[in-house]
Amino acid sequence: MTLAVAAYLLNSSLLAKESALVFILDIFFIWFFRDPERTVEGPKDVILSPADGKIVDIRDNTACIFMNIYNVHVNRAPVSGKIVKMKHKDGGYLPAFFKDSHRNERNLICIESDYGLVRMVQIAGTVTRRIDTYFNVGDSVVRGERIGMIRFGSRVDITPPNGYTLIVNKGDRVKAAVSAIAIRNTTGQNDSGHHAGG
């Protein structure tokens, strides 16, 4: 605003261009860091997506969700429970959709729920230089609650407990705290191997 006023008073085209650039950047950052409210619905034992994005791989009963720059980057708790483990690992910044992105910087969050242990891994992407987590070991979280953020394109992996079946497939679009990722088996058998290859 100050630059715009200065550009007008001084009749400066340079200041006008700088003012326009600052305005565009402000709009971009407001849009990028948007954090819409989400309504959590459905049975409490259903595991919800922790992130907005696209399922880029399913392996070893783990769904890999790639968040591009257009997605909301706030992560949410996939299930209610207590954080029993959290481990940060330094690493590189390969594109988060690559299979060898296991070398990337990451943050593991283990949530002990009434239905078993849920593993959630926040993975840094190409331009990401910061993974934020809003809780610590020993804290309790509520399903759908904001749990952290990864900036500028990244990935979140989610692994349900034994006795659960992933109900997403490679290529599916999901939304944090809205889309169901896995459901409990009523037969007591885990048939998630059907999804293992994506």
Residues noted as catalytic: 154
d(C-alpha 113, C-alpha 143), whole Å: 10
DSSP code string of 31-49: HHT--------S-TTSEEP
Please answer whether residues 25 and 17 qualify as being in contact, where contact means their C-beta atoms are separated by less than 8 angstroms.
no
- Residues facing residue 120 across a β-bridge: 109, 158
Classify each residue of 13-32 as buried b or exposed e, where b means 16 or more C-beta atoms within 10 Å of its C-beta: eebbeebeeeeeeeeeeeee
Distances (CA, A) of 76 to 16, 53, 99, 135: 40, 13, 24, 11
Tokens describing residue 188: 């007591």
Cα 188-193-198 angle, rounded to 5 deg: 135
